[in-house]
Amino acid sequence: MALYDLEPAGPALDAPVVVAAFDGWVDAAGAASAAVERLGEGGTVVARFDGDRLFDYRSRRPVLDVVDGVLSELSWPELTLRHVRTGARDVLVLAGAEPDLHWRELAGDVVDLVARLGVSQWVSLGAVPAAVAHTRPVPVMATASREGLLHEETRGPAGLLRVPSAALSAVEIAVSRAGTPAVGFFAQVPPYVGQAYAAASLRLLEHLGRHLEVELELGDLVATARVERRALDAAVARDADMGEMIARLEALAEESSATEMRLPTGDELASEIQRYLRDQSGEGPDGPRG
């Protein structure tokens, strides 16, 4: 039995593009899931996935509303495929909670669903913590299943990058190996950013719009990004250690620009994040301060 149910009366589709993002892993500051939530807003559900088979409710518990002492409502984690019409493009937005279980089965079912719906291309959106500062434009790393799929972006990073996989990547690989071209855009998020970073969501949608050659509705994301920038600037002004870290990140960005946009290495990223966490916890390199 498939992990998804198609809605009985789906829309007529013309070479749709799937745009996918899951919350959780490879979704730093919730930037990618916020971007697809904005993209799919008001969309029509095309398919629903079976949460009882995909989610471990002990690790991703449903949210319970208790009203005046009465257990009122449960909101379950979900994964859906929604249709939106963006300009002249049919876009299918695959979004929701990252599945805990049955990744291989899910990938196979998505391959089947992509074939049934005549999908012409797959686009993954993600966000990763990186050694970058909020004072600079958000860098976006692009991936592609083959040459010639990207317009302005350069596929990268060069060489081998071995990281723990997200469910989204497992699905994308299966889809691309089955013959559907696939690209990905991954925003790089400063390690000190909290629960939201509209600037990264904005950059992902800008890259997506250019790639699809459509103008996307950004709503209040621009204004939200400005408000968050002012809040981060104010936090830096109050915290000398944070200011020093951002100065180091800016210097690293200058060095990267001078070497043809070399991405920070994993060691550089880990070192910078660990240094910041030590500063925040009051520990020096040799143990607790004082």
pLDDT digits (tens, 9 = 90+) for 57-86: 999 999 999 999 999 999 999 999 999 999
Burial letters 261-278, b for 16+ CB under 10 A, else e: eebbeeebbeebbebbeb
44 and 83 in contact (C-beta within 8 Å)? yes
Task: Look at residue 284 and tell me whether its pLDDT is greater than 60.
Answer: no
- Please, which residues bridge with residue 283 across strands? 288
- Please, which residues bridge with residue 71 across strands? 66
Of 142, 157, 173, 129, which is closest to residue 273 (Cα–Cα)? Answer: 129
Domains in the chain: boundaries: 13-219
pLDDT digits (tens, 9 = 90+) for 133-167: 999 999 999 999 999 999 877 777 778 888 889 99
Phi, psi of 140 (to 5 degrees): -130, 125
- The owner of tokens 């990547």 is 169
- Residue 126 to residue 200: CA distance in whole angstroms: 10
pTM: 0.85
- Residue 142 to residue 207: CA distance in whole angstroms: 9
Class of domain 13-219: alpha beta
Handedness of CA 222, 89, 124, 104 (dihedral sign): positive
Per-chain mean pLDDT for the chain: 88
